[in-house]
Amino acid sequence: MTLVRPFILALLVACALASPATAQAVGASLSVSDATVTEGNSGTPTADFTLTLEPTAVPVGVDYATENGTATQPTDYSLTSGSHTFPISPTEQQTFTVSVPITPDTADEPDETFKLNLSNAPLATITDAEGIGTIVDDDNDAPTARVDVNPQQAFVGQVIEFNGSRSSDPEGLPLSYAWDLDGNGSFETPTGAESAIGFASFSPGLQALGLKVTDPGNKSDGEIGYALVFPAPAEAARDLTPPATHLFPVQRSLALARRRGLRVRFGCSEACTVAASAGVDRRTGRRVGLSGRGRTIGRGFSAMTKASSKKFTIKLSRRARRKLAKVRRVRVNLRFKVRDAAGNRRTVNHKITLRR
């Protein structure tokens, strides 16, 4: 009799595991969602993960536990683990929420992640065993814009430097710079990481240029720089000689020009402004599908506050980049309109062939 009972017990267990109800349970899908939470500076925020089980004919148990990623416990979140048993539900999907406490702070830091892992669910098929918890940092402070003007008093046509290099970010993050040259409140002249810009006014009076600095978290600040511009000196005292110029060798890669613009280096014998344009002639325009104003494929601007040379970019228009993607080479006409502080002008024309 003692030998028969274990055999009968084993037989009953085998029959139970082979029953249709158990077969249905083993096929029930179990998964865990991702969770995103804003870190905050106080309180008790939680990252809420949702466990989802498809209809099941038998109870289903599962274990869960957090795992460090770039976020670690207990500095960023509280260690959380446990188990849960879903009851029988042959027709309805079931859910269960696991809430992981987050540790608020005021430190500025990158967004961080950790995991919630599922395990030990023999009567279900785990289709997604890993939930990613993302802690979104909200402690970024706005930068501070500062503009220095040199010189603060100038004559009509004289180049004035507006410099934002004293702008700062409280977290030490890199800043991008954009300028409002016409006072309309739109910062239409971005200079990227370049913190200074040269500007020449040809109207006497108080001139104002706006600066906007923006950090990687899209927080920004603005300031206005002022310069007083006087009428040009008497005609007899004016310099009537246009500046001497020099154009250094220009890149000839069509692929680079489409991707980054035409990088040029241009020199002036004195302080000057340079308005550059790139275009194609009518014949080339017909060949590549550009006509009218569209034959001007790019523009650029630079200013020098003294005799020097400076690199700048002639940025191609979106339409030009699209059209030039279809050709292997193209003849481009470069034009540089130069003006010095006394208003003297010089135009420099140069032709290059861009090849793939």
Which of 28, 81, 78, 33 lies closest to 58 in space, CA to CA?
Answer: 28
On whether both 111 and 45 belong to a single domain, the answer is yes
Which among 173, 201, 232 is the end of a domain?
A: 232
Radius of gyration of the chain (CA): 34
Which among 83, 111, 136 is the end of a domain?
A: 136
pLDDT at 153: 83
pLDDT at 234: 63
On whether both 271 and 329 belong to a single domain, the answer is yes
Look at phi and psi of residue 286 and say left if phi exceeds 0, alpha if psi is from -120 to 50, else beta.
alpha
pLDDT at 8: 41
Residue with tokens 């035409």: 262
* Residues sharing a CB contact under 8 Å with residue 8, sequence separation 6 or more, in sequence order: none
Backbone torsions φ then ψ of 288, nearest 5 degrees: -100, -5
Report yes or no on 3 lying in a domain.
Answer: no
On whether both 34 and 132 belong to a single domain, the answer is yes
List of the chain residues with pLDDT < 70: 1-27, 108, 139, 234-238
Report yes or no on 19 lying in a domain.
Answer: no
On whether both 221 and 313 belong to a single domain, the answer is no
| Helices (runs of H) and strands (runs of E) counted in the chain | 5, 24
On whether both 244 and 225 belong to a single domain, the answer is no
Over pLDDT 70: what percentage of the chain? 90
Please provide the DSSP assignment of 5-74 as one string.
HHHHHHHHHHHHHTSHHHHHHHT-EEEE--EEEE--SSS--EEEEEEEE--BSS-EEEEEEEE-SSS-TT
| Residue range 217-232, pLDDT digits in tens | 788 999 998 888 888 7
Report d(CA 47, CA 70) in Å as an integer. Answer: 15
On whether both 34 and 124 belong to a single domain, the answer is yes
CA-to-CA separations, 304 to 34, 191, 198, 204, 245, in angstroms, rounded: 54, 15, 7, 20, 12
| Residue range 82-120, pLDDT digits in tens | 999 999 999 999 999 999 999 988 776 778 999 999 999
The CATH number linked to 45 is 2.60.40.2030
**Helix (H) or strand (E) run with residue 228 in it:** strand 220-230
Report yes or no on 143 lying in a domain.
Answer: no
The CATH number linked to 211 is 2.60.40.10
On whether both 125 and 156 belong to a single domain, the answer is no
Q: Which amino acid is at 154?
A: A
Question: Containing domain of residue 225, as a range?
Answer: 148-232
On whether both 90 and 153 belong to a single domain, the answer is no
On whether both 38 and 57 belong to a single domain, the answer is yes
The CATH number linked to 349 is 2.60.40.2550
On whether both 224 and 294 belong to a single domain, the answer is no
For 257, the token pair is 């020009």
pLDDT at 339: 87
On whether both 34 and 129 belong to a single domain, the answer is yes
The domain tally of the chain equals: 3
